[in-house]
Amino acid sequence: MGVFTTRGGRFSRRPSVIGGIDMETAGGRKAKEESAVSAIGPGVVIRGEVSCAIDLQIEGEVHGDVRCPTLLLGEGGVVNGSVHAERVRLAGRVEGTIDAGDLAVEATAYIEGDVTYARLKVTPGGRVRGRMEPRDEAAAAAPEPAPLKLVEPMSEAPTPQAIRVFGE
């Protein structure tokens, strides 16, 4: 199995399968031929925030927050930081919070941290150590601000008093 597919005798720039994850159907949608995927390969360690406007495949390690439209975390992939993506498919390890629209937790996945999601699929064997809340409930659980306390205005201004400054 090659990383890149051939279409009509030409190589496609878009990988079809990476780390056992079918990129064509990742996140429950058929990917467009023109869509791009950025990859962080095995053995690559990134320290700092990763933010991209295209889909992201991680087989290496990211020590920092990840923001992208779709995140595909392979079995060997690790994220130590928060994940913010509309579509997330996890087969690796995340240590941090996750905020996702569609979240698929594969059998080899391990999550340590709080998770908010709109739609969830957990394959038997996938492990989560933390709180999981649907997005709607998470918003409803946010504490309301305390009501303002009205105070009565002063009936008269206090009498000014002289103060003594040392050294005069």
Domain boundaries, the chain: 33-139
Burial annotation 87-99 (CB, 10 A radius, 16+ → b, else e): bbbbbbbbbbbbb
CA 39/CA 43 separation, integer angstroms: 12
- Predicted local distance difference test score (pLDDT) of residue 25: 55
- pLDDT digit string (tens) for 83-125? 999 999 999 999 999 999 999 999 999 999 999 999 999 999 9
Element (H, E) at 138: helix 135-140
Q: Are 43 and 60 in contact (CB under 8 A)?
A: yes
Please write the tens of the pLDDT for every residue from 44-83. 999 999 999 999 999 999 999 999 999 999 999 999 999 9
- Given a contact cutoff of 8 angstroms between Cβ atoms, the answer to whether 58 and 46 are in contact is no
The answer to whether the CB of 74 falls within 8 A of the CB of 19 is yes
Q: Given pLDDT bands bounded at 50, 70 and 90, which one contains residue 11?
A: very low
Contact of 68 with 49, CB cutoff 8 Å: no
Dist. CA 162–CA 145, nearest whole Å: 41
Q: Would you state the torsion angle of the CA atoms of residues 69, 75, 77, 79, taken in this order, to the nearest 10 degrees? A: 70
Farthest-apart Cα atoms in the chain, separation: 95
What's 45's DSSP letter? E
pTM of the prediction?
0.63
